[in-house]
Amino acid sequence: MTGLPAYRVWALPGIPEVRTGDDIAKLIASAATADGLPGLADGDVLMVTSKILSKAEGRVVQADDREAAIDAEAVRVVARRGPLRIVENRLGLVMAAAGVDASNTPAGTVLLLPEDPDASARRIRTGLRDTLGVNVGVVVTDTFGRPWRSGLTDVAIGAAGVRVLDDLRGGTDAHGNPLSATVVATADELAAAGDLVKGKAAGLPVAVVRGLSHVVVPDVGAGADDGVGGADEGARALVRDAADDMFRLGTSEAVREAVTLRRTVREFTDDPVDGGAVRRAVAAAVTAPAPHHTTPWRFVLLESAESRVRLLDAMRDAWIADLRGDGFTEENIARRVRRGDVLRKAPYLVVPCLVMDGSHTYPDARRNASEREMFVVAAGAGVQNFLVALAGERLGSAWVSSTMFCRDVVREVLGLPADWDPMGAVAVGRAAVAPPARVARDAAAFVEVR
């Protein structure tokens, strides 16, 4: 069996109860050099439970109300079921209760995660280098649940001296097939291996892995622990960027989060828009409520540049004629036309239309007007669904009312039936710049209770 890939992992006994101000590196060094233990060597990787770092760093806080502590640590609620909350915390980690832990700490207190787990890992690595003269990797671990999988496992929330990700993209497998999406979360695999010997209640907060020195970053002094050059980037590299996260939304909060993501975009990139994504958004749009079990929505997709230019040119000519008829100067007209150019800047346009199929006709004008209002409200609900669904597809949009002012022109250019009423136009694309911060609105200001 000699020569086969292998590694050893063992829990490190002898770590005492940690108190605020303790030097974790010295505690580990003392335990590792006790009689009968193999000590530490270059290329070893240490898995350190975050709880002992939290205690050493004074992250034990009085909190009779754990929920208030979770509120303070959370930046976004991802999902909620009963008292359980899955939240994103200030470190970008999505986990139960923001990592706030009421176990292994005195009654009336809770443990918060380390302020900066990567920095904590760097301090331990540097301390062990200075104390024992060894080059080791350090992984700070915490316990996570996982979507679609039962059970808990340890993952890396901090790291130093470890290649946390092993990017295999660009290589090939044993059959010569290209690897186009394979990035291995090495630090998480190490964390899980360490947890198998540490356990959850055995009082063994540190584990050592030996035999995987290829994952340890060469130690060239203090600079190696600074994350400079990307070789030692820390566990933050494991946190997926929001723009690339296909599963960012939770359960009951999904719609609310998607609504929050929906912003009016006025500057678009030239990136092409996936027509399939737009069609999925249409599928969401037509689930909106409507009167009399009708389907009063139609969505005209302008996927070719030629169709968009032809429509917008005709609309511009009609708009200029209207403005001249209203007595505006040529300078004012030119300025207004420029302001309305958001539709021209988008790589994709959608014209939502209202149809009155299934509407009721009444003997008096008042009831007929109310009937149309019901259908207009349903059309607005469908467009709102559409905009929110586009945001869920990571597409920006701007709903512009201009087609409503020249419906005959739009119907003629697009060859639409006479009973299709264009309800504005939606510019679709990827935002060229991040939208400004949303103006805060107090919901109570919009509520009247009777």
Is residue 227 very low, low, confident or very high in pLDDT (cuts 50, 70, 90)?
very low
Residue 225's pLDDT is what? 43
pLDDT tens by residue, 375-385: 999 999 999 99
Between 18-22, 103-107, 248-252, the lowest mean confidence (pLDDT) is in 248-252
Q: Which of 216, 244, 272 is the last residue of a domain?
A: 244
Residue 396 has pLDDT above 80, yes or no: yes
125 belongs to a structural domain:
yes
Q: What is the mean pLDDT of residues 170-185?
A: 77
Q: What is the mean pLDDT of residues 138-148?
A: 92
43 belongs to a structural domain:
yes
pLDDT tens by residue, 336-376: 877 667 889 899 999 999 999 999 999 999 999 999 999 99
| Of 187 and 102, more confident | 187
254 belongs to a structural domain:
no
Shared domain check, 232 and 268: no
Shared domain check, 205 and 127: yes
pLDDT tens by residue, 280-336: 999 999 999 999 999 999 999 999 999 999 999 999 998 889 889 989 898 888 888
Q: What is the mean pLDDT of residues 184-194?
A: 94
Shared domain check, 51 and 166: yes
Domains identified in the chain, total number: 2
Residue 256's pLDDT is what? 63
251 belongs to a structural domain:
no
- pTM here is 0.64
Residue 449 has pLDDT above 50, yes or no: yes
Domain membership of residue 274 as a residue range: 262-446
Torsion angle (degrees, nearest 10) of CA 340, 344, 347, 349: 60
Q: Domain holding 57: CATH number?
A: 3.30.1330.100
Q: Which of 213, 244, 275 is the last residue of a domain?
A: 244
Q: Domain holding 398: CATH number?
A: 3.40.109.10
179 belongs to a structural domain:
yes
351 belongs to a structural domain:
yes
Shared domain check, 212 and 341: no
Shared domain check, 272 and 235: no
Q: What is the mean pLDDT of residues 408-435?
A: 94
Residue 252's pLDDT is what? 55
Residue 1's pLDDT is what? 54
Residue 240's pLDDT is what? 86
253 belongs to a structural domain:
no
Q: Which of 244, 271, 294 is the last residue of a domain?
A: 244
pLDDT tens by residue, 247-272: 776 665 566 666 667 888 989 999 99
Residue 351's pLDDT is what? 98
